[in-house]
Amino acid sequence: MEARRVAAAAEGLGLHPSPVAPARLASRRPPLWSDLLSYAALVLGTLVMFGPVLWVVVSSFKVPSELYRVPATFLPEQWVFSNYTDALRQFPFVRYLANSVFVTLAATAVTLAINSMAAFALSKYRFPGRDFLFLFMLSTLMVPLQVIMIPIYLVVARLGMIDTLWGIVIPPAATPTGVFLLRQYMLTIPDELLDAARIDGAGEWRIYRQIMLPLTRPALAVLAIFSIMWRWNDYLWPLIVISSDRNFTLQLGLARFQGQLVTDWNYVLAMTVLSILPITLVFAFLQRYLVSGIATTGLKG
């Protein structure tokens, strides 16, 4: 069929394709064994990456004695669903979950607002030192948190946010990665669109809110996914800021739960499964935005 379409198109243009052309087209098709090897490599890579996660999920239904068995068994001999109910009685999962949800949503909202405004200024305004400021901001990616941890803690303490959830939300709100991602996407939006809005009398805030944000929705979705994963899995900074049990996030609660019940790994695994379930669902529903946003970012600039 493909050879026929090529021949018909050539005849329509007044050309006379060589009879060798269909054979050349057929020879360019990848062989079947190449496709099979590609799919086999993808399946193997998937198993390697998700194998530990699958083992945690399956092991959360095992009895403690089976977890320590040598050689280890993958599927449990007896599926024990009471691991979840018994762990929930000893672990304040709902309270820690509410704290993690608040921190994740609040930090993501603040991150999107601050980073989008910074990206708008660095992509659509021309002022002295703009490129130097952008490069200086990107250079901060090479500075690890351990280096600036004490100065940030002192600032948070001066603001009175120690042992509060806002002490987790505010410090990492502005991220160079988010500014870079949004700036590169905003560079693909024509400047003439903004100039037309200014001619019609639109102010800068209205241009940002009603033009730039809707057009930058794919990149904002990508940054939102990254921010949700960062904040949900964050452990070091909440460990430094939070000291009271009522403000613990899920990661801090799991660490304390593991310390209290060292031998009951079946309970720890059950709570681990419940803690990774929300972020897994978020990624499953928003992965199409992740692919499309990254694919269209950085086309200009």
The domain locations on the chain are 87-295
Residues 289 and 225 sit within 8 Å (Cβ to Cβ): yes
User: Quick check: 245 pLDDT over 70?
Assistant: yes
Please state, in angstroms and rounded to a whole number, the distance separating the CA atoms of residues 205 and 216: 15
57, 235, 118, 11: which is closest to 3 by C-alpha? 11
CATH number for the domain formed by residue range(s) 87-295: 1.10.3720.10
Residues 171 and 152 sit within 8 Å (Cβ to Cβ): yes
What is the token pair recorded at 251? 């990661």
User: Quick check: 261 pLDDT over 50?
Assistant: no
Mean pLDDT of 281-286: 78
Cα dist from 297 to 17, 108, 222, whole Å:
40, 20, 10
Q: What is the pTM of this model?
A: 0.75
Per-residue confidence (pLDDT) for residue 107, from 0 to 100: 92
State the average pLDDT for the chain: 81
What is the SS3 assignment for 118-167? HHHHHHHCCCCCHHHHHHHHHHHHHCCHHHHHHHHHHHHHHCCCCCCCHH
Please state, in angstroms and rounded to a whole number, the distance separating the CA atoms of residues 7 and 21: 9
Per-residue confidence (pLDDT) for residue 299, from 0 to 100: 47
3-state SS assignment for residue 2: helix
Residues 286 and 269 sit within 8 Å (Cβ to Cβ): no
User: Quick check: 35 pLDDT over 90?
Assistant: no
Per-residue confidence (pLDDT) for residue 105, from 0 to 100: 92
Residues 290 and 221 sit within 8 Å (Cβ to Cβ): yes
Mean pLDDT of 13-40: 61
Tens of pLDDT, residues 188-208 = 888 888 888 888 888 889 889
User: DSSP label at 215?
Assistant: H
The angle formed by the CA atoms of residues 160, 165 and 170, to the nearest 5 degrees, is 70
User: Quick check: 301 pLDDT over 50?
Assistant: no
Mean pLDDT of 32-47: 84
User: Quick check: 158 pLDDT over 60?
Assistant: yes
